[in-house]
Amino acid sequence: MLLVLLTLALLVAALVVPALVATARRRSRRPRSRRRRPSELVAFGDPGRERRAEQRARELLRSCVNDEEWEMYRDLGFVRVFGRGLRRGEVEGARRGGAEGGQTGAALLRGRPSDPPSGAAPSPPEEPLADTPRYAYLVYPHKPILAYEPQSRRLLSEYCVEFPDLSDAVTGSRLPDSDDVLAKWMALTGDEARLLRDANMHLPGRQLDPGRVRRDLWRLQEWERRRRRSPNAPPR
Amino acid sequence: MKPGHGEVLLTEGDPRLREDEDRLVEAFRRELDEGMWAAVPTQDPDTGRRQARMVQDYGQIPPEAERVIFFPRAAGG
């Protein structure tokens, strides 16, 4: 009887011991794997660098754009730039035509952004239109430029454009958000025709959610209304 | 403008001085040769409205300009 019990005990030990040894080895290996050698550590980028770059970009943007545009970007996250396709004289001519016959003015108001003049030199700065311009753009960081009609809030087109730094193509990094907005603002106010020529034009809704854009237009309208009522509002 | 860095000062100087002007012209041409666009922030003297002027030659830079901003050329996205 005793012999049988001993035999059974040996059998159980022979079965259990290897499992215990394997478990012990796994446990001893785990702490070792957690102790990574410095060379095995994953190299994380410096998040502070990106943040500092964005901060510098915001300061540059603020120093270049108009106060209203800066406050708009700061509060709403985008900038509205009025189109420059229709000059003041053309607006007055359209109004005169509209008063006489009604046809010309209405056709111009319903028109889409005018085709960019081919090979035109950058036009000299002009006074902003007193009334609402025929079309305007919403400039978002790293998103297409959205053209729309301010009067009707009808969405016209998306202009997909980016500013790739080919010298740093391997890392694939892109401009800080505010630099991207500034680049678009400078290109739109400096040479609108050229920027639109280089962009890929699509119908609204290709990349930007039309619902969100309409909400942003509503937010812009409310923002402008609050700004006009503000005691510190600049004279119009 | 440079990805990951924001603005980077390339060079500065007084364009009225010959040495500085040569350095400024060289930096300007180097950036344009690398495919960058150049813009000068301007302000309408009558309305005070700010805008930008794209320049493709050093001679197009207004004399009163304080800085020229270079940024990557636009491409269709």
Interchain proximity B4–A49, CB inside 8 Å:
yes
Q: How far is A110 from chain B (nearest CA, A)?
A: 27
Provide the number of structural domains found in chain A: 1
Please tell me the predicted confidence (pLDDT) of residue A127: 44
Contact B72 A55 (CB under 8 A): no
Report yes or no on A43 lying in a domain: no
Q: Give the pLDDT confidence score for residue B3 in this predicted structure.
A: 64
Gap between the Cα atoms of A77 and A146, Å rounded: 14
A86 touches B at CB < 8 Å: no
Q: What is the Cα–Cα distance from A35 to A41, expressed in whole angstroms?
A: 10
Provide the pLDDT for residue A156. Answer: 95
Give pLDDT, residue B19: 84
**pLDDT averaged per 10 residues, chain A (length 236):** 84 78 71 50 66 90 95 97 65 36 28 38 43 88 95 94 68 80 94 90 93 96 92 60
* Side-chain-facing half-sphere of A73: CA atoms under 13 Å: 26
Domain boundaries, given as residue ranges, for chain B: 18-72
Q: Is A49 on the interface with B (CB under 8 A)?
A: yes
> Is the per-residue pLDDT at B31 higher than 80?
yes
pLDDT at B15: 77
A190–B75 C-beta distance less than 8 A: no
Nearest CB partner across the interface for B51, out of A125, A166, A173: A125
pLDDT of A168 reads: 53
Between A125 and B71, where is the model more confident?
B71
For residue B77, the chain A residues in CB contact (below 8 A) are 144, 160-162, 199-200
In a domain, residue A28? The reply is no
Among residues B64, B71, B65, B54, which one has the least CA distance to residue B2? Answer: B71
Q: What is the pLDDT of residue A15?
A: 79
pTM: 0.69
Nearest C-alpha neighbor of B37 from the set A172, A166, A73: A166
Q: Is residue A236 in some structural domain?
A: no
Query: Shortest Cα distance from B60 to chain A (angstroms)?
Result: 11
pLDDT band at B20 (very low <50, low <70, confident <90, very high): confident
Average pLDDT, chain B: 86
Residue of A163, A178, A184 to mutate when probing chain B, most B C-beta within 10 A:
A163
Please tell me chain B's helix, strand, coil percentages from 3-state DSSP, rounded to the nearest 5.
Answer: 25, 30, 45
Q: Which two tokens stand for residue A225?
A: 């209304």
Instruction: Report the relative pairing of strands A145-149 and A136-139 from DSSP bridges.
Output: antiparallel
Is residue A219 in a domain? yes
**B positions 20-59 inside 8 Å of A (CB):** 34-35, 37, 39, 41-42, 44, 46-47, 49-54
Range of the domain at A225: 51-229
User: Is A122 in contact with B53 (Cβ distance < 8 A)?
Assistant: yes
With CA atoms as reference, the chain B residue closest to A206 would be B77
CA distance A56 to chain B (A): 6
Instruction: Check CB contact under 8 Å for A163 and B75.
Output: yes
pLDDT value, residue B21: 86
pLDDT of residue B5: 63
User: 10 Å Cβ neighbour count for A49?
Assistant: 12
- The residue with greater pLDDT, B68 or A102, is B68
Write down the residue that tokens 């009887």 correspond to: A1
Q: Tell me which H or E stretch contains B54.
A: strand B50-55
pLDDT value at position B77? 74
- Beta-carbon separation of B71 and A163 below 8 A: yes
Q: Residue A180: how many CA atoms within 13 Å on its side-chain side?
A: 25
